[in-house]
Amino acid sequence: MLLAKIFILLLPLTLLAASLSLADPVTIKFSHADSRLSPKGKASEYLKRLVEQRSNNRIRVEIYPNGSLFDDRDALEALKFNAIQMTAPSLTRLSVSNPQLLLFDLPFLFQNVEQLHAVIDGTIGRRMLEASSRNGLIALSFWDKGFKQFTANRRLFLPRDAVGLTFRSGESSVVREQFRTLDAIPQTVPLPQLYSSLEKGETDGQENTLGDIYNRGLYQVQSNLTISNHGYLGYMVLTNDNFWGQLPKDLKVIIQGAIKDAAEYTREMATQLNNDALKKIRATGRIKIHRLTPEERKTWENRLDKIYPAFYEKIGEKLVRKARMKQIR
């Protein structure tokens, strides 16, 4: 089924080189699995506006949100075949081929968003983009979704509060180890099924951005929300070298500039949408909200610091230590 869909999408692209020479518009199909209202959804629409305006419509961008064309897993394969020309999977998904990206799953690695962006915008981020540009793919930029928070049907002020609880861990080996170190039980629960699993009591808690906690209604089936900012959720914008190699230099410059501006925009949107979500969650009065104090945060950091050495080999110890520095050069 996937290959058939890719084949159908490839038919018009066989004329790409001729289209370029005839100065017909270049089409970029951008497939992603998030909603239009998410930071990624808003950033992709912003990117479309910038690229089309700056190219005087020499480039046309078609956005396919909500997995309407491909889900994140299939989108990577479709991108390699040039059935689509852009996608933006999660860093966790991409860590399968580039384990260094597990860095961003390490709990309590970043003290604040400024430190996070210093890492992404500096040498570490550039090297990770280069390392992710392989197997026919080209990594263009990081896009934010925001920091993760804990929810559960028990207050989570200190690490001991998580003992014995089951938590959705997703696909990340780092996150699974995070919960094991807390003497909690990690569970693999597909995100679309998470609400039901929490409602039925099959899963006790989870971690996610405030935007997802609100938009997916997770606050309705949990009693406690802890503002922990303990982990980062982000994406990497990818294209493929087949498409990229056929573009004239001037169009590449336009796309690169628009991608850079869209990255700044998604940071603004992630901050705004997550802050708005917290206000809306608080306004419902349906869940108790606690923000970790500096002393509580330090207790969590000390407990979860134990998992770092287990991932030095995959990520690189020097890389982890450099990212932990408050001043990134």
pLDDT computed for residue 18 by the predictor: 45
Cα angle 23-9-27, degrees, rounded to a multiple of 5: 30
Give the number of domains in the chain.
1
In a domain, 329, yes or no: no
Q: Examine the pLDDT at 19 and tell me if it is beyond 70.
A: no
∠ CA(158), CA(90), CA(121), 5° rounding? 85
Choose between 91 and 325: higher pLDDT: 91
pLDDT per residue as tens digits for the range 146-172: 999 999 999 999 999 999 999 999 889
Looking at 189-203, 300-314, 315-329, which range is the least confident one? Answer: 315-329
Instruction: Tell me what percent of the residues of the chain surpass a pLDDT of 70.
Output: 92
Using one digit for the tens of pLDDT, what is the confidence trace for 265-282?
999 999 999 999 999 999
Task: Indicate the range of 18-27, 211-220, 283-292, 302-311 predicted with least confidence.
Answer: 18-27
Supply the pLDDT for residue 171. 87
CA distance 205 to 26: 46
Q: Quick check: 22 pLDDT over 50? A: no
Asked if the model's pLDDT at residue 253 lies above 60, the reply is yes
0.85 exceeded by the pTM? yes
Chain segment 170-190, per-residue pLDDT in tens? 889 999 999 999 999 999 999
Q: What is the band of 257 on the pLDDT scale with cuts at 50, 70, 90?
A: very high
Residue 8 has pLDDT above 70, yes or no: no
DSSP codes of every residue in 235-302:
EEEEEEHHHHHHS-HHHHHHHHHHHHHHHHHHHHHHHHHHHHHHHHHHHHT-SEEEEPPHHHHHHHHH
Range of the domain at 150: 2-324
In whole angstroms, give the CA distance from residue 292 to residue 261: 33
State yes or no: pLDDT of 72 exceeds 60.
Answer: yes
Structure tokens at 150: 């804990």
Could you tell me if residue 62 is inside a domain? yes
Q: CATH number of the domain that 10 lies in?
A: 3.40.190.170
φ, ψ (nearest 5 deg) of residue 240? -125, 155
Beta strand 185-187 pairing with 224-240: unpaired
- Please check the confidence at residue 4 and state whether its pLDDT lies above 50: no
Q: Is the pLDDT of residue 12 over 60?
A: no
Calculate mean pLDDT across residues 89-106: 96
> In 3-state terms, what secondary structure has residue 158?
coil
- pLDDT tens-digit map of 182-223: 999 999 999 889 999 999 999 999 999 999 999 999 999 999
In a domain, 295, yes or no: yes
100 in a structural domain: yes
CA distance 38 to 104: 20
pLDDT score of 199: 97
3-state secondary structure 186-198: EECCCHHHHHHHH
Decide which of 233 and 2 is more confident. Answer: 233
Query: Residues for the chain: how many in total?
Result: 329
| Mean pLDDT computed over every residue of the chain | 93
Give me the mean pLDDT over the 230-254 stretch. Answer: 97
